[in-house]
Amino acid sequence: MDFNLSREQLLVRKMMAEFTEKEVKPIAAETDRTCQYPKETIEKLFDLGVMGLGVPKEYGGQGGDAIAGAIVIEELAKACASTADIVAAHNGLCCDPILKFGTEEQKQKYLPMLTRGHKVGAFALTEPNAGSDASKGQTEVVDAGDHYVMNGSKIFITNGYVAEVFVVFAMTDKSKGTKGITAFIVESSDPGFSVGKHEEKMGLHGAPTAEIVFQDCIIPKDRMLGKEGKGFSIAMQTLDGGRIGIAAQGLGIAEGALQEAINYTKSREQFGRPISKFQNTQFTLADMELGCEAGRLLTYQAAALKQAGQRFTKEAAMAKLFTSEHAMKTTTKVVQMFGGYGYTKDYPVERMMRDAKITEIYEGTSEVQRIVISANMGL
């Protein structure tokens, strides 16, 4: 087993660490305060080839591997979980399924748009009554001869009000349960597509989360993604990959918070010495470091299996479950270490704590990850 990163992966780490320090960290607090989508940063990430990193060069991407993809999210999340989320949804939930399940024509049309074309992508599965029970969506598609007509709505869609390309899951045959769900590529310019409510959230304020609505939405015949009735399987396989992204996001948030804690406890003096010299602080920081290391190994393991074309459903769920819970525990303890200062906006740690919470919820709650893990244990 080789635990060393490749030269390319190390270069991606260096490039993203520098980019994050220079372009992301300085505006992270303002992005959070104003709830502004960090458009300029995302444009620069397109220029850098990070948006659609895993897309092969022939379709406009960089052909980056899955571990490099995780490193990108991890580095961004150290400073700004919102930016990491926008990239994770674009790469893992939109580019990936089009690459994996698209026809050659769909790949040639959409992947260059999602890379060189600077168009942001999104994934639309969740509905008001279909969250964890993802197969119970009511959005419906009927075949109208020379086009499809879609009706329904989706909620909590990351990139919802900035994306131009959506991978959408809808019922093509309600009588067939999960076998009646089909995936489609929908463009925001399709007639009958609109953006509904913009969500106001606890954290992740820079990530544009919205409802999207399909009202007699006209979708051309060549937009079915994969075969009819295969949508649920496509959604689940896509989420397997997406969960590596959220694992990397949780990992990055925990690492970022730990670094803040190290810096603070070394400079903050109480009772005549830096608080980093107290054993209670040291043991707490040691546990945080241990969790980051374990989370990193789980995340990169899942990514390596994905890259090798092996099944990674359980490993992605374990990585996501572990790092998201570690991010929540770490950020909560770091706020505590900062005392009163931790509760103010003078330091980034209260934002990190608010941002960490969503990693335990989206792309499958911690409870869903436990369902997935136990379902893959041969019980």
Residue 74 among the catalytic residues: no
Size of the site for ligand CAA (CB under 6 A): 25
Kindly state whether residue 232 participates in binding ligand CAA, applying the rule CB under 6 A: yes
By CB under 6 A, residue 359 contacts ligand CAA: no
From CA 200, how far away is CA 332, in angstroms rounded?
22
Position 363 contacts ligand CAA (CB under 6 A): yes
Q: Give 286 or 371: the residue with its C-beta nearer to ligand CAA.
A: 371
**Is residue 313 part of the contact set for ligand CAA (CB under 6 A)?**
yes
Q: Kindly tell me which of 135 and 336 has the beta carbon lying closer to ligand CAA.
A: 135
Distance CA 138, CA 171 (A): 7
- Which of the ranges 108-116, 128-136, 274-282, 322-330 carries the binding residues for ligand CAA, by CB under 6 A? 128-136
> Least distance from C-beta 313 to ligand CAA, angstroms?
4
From 30-38, 98-106, 118-126, 346-354, give the range in contact with ligand CAA by CB under 6 A.
118-126
Marked catalytic residue, from 127, 255, 360, 363: 363
101 near ligand CAA, judged by CB under 6 A: no
Question: Contact region for ligand CAA (CB under 6 A) — 2-10, 100-108, 131-139, 292-300?
Answer: 131-139
Residue entry with tokens 């659609």: 52
Give the shortest CB-376-to-ligand CAA separation in angstroms: 9
324 binds ligand CAA (CB under 6 A): no
Instruction: Note whether 368 binds ligand CAA by CB under 6 A.
Output: yes
Question: What's the rounded Cα separation, in Å, for the pair 325 and 114?
Answer: 31
Active site residues: 363
Binding residues for ligand CAA, per CB under 6 A? 89, 93, 123, 125-126, 132, 134-135, 156-158, 178, 232-233, 236-237, 239-240, 313, 362-364, 368, 371-372
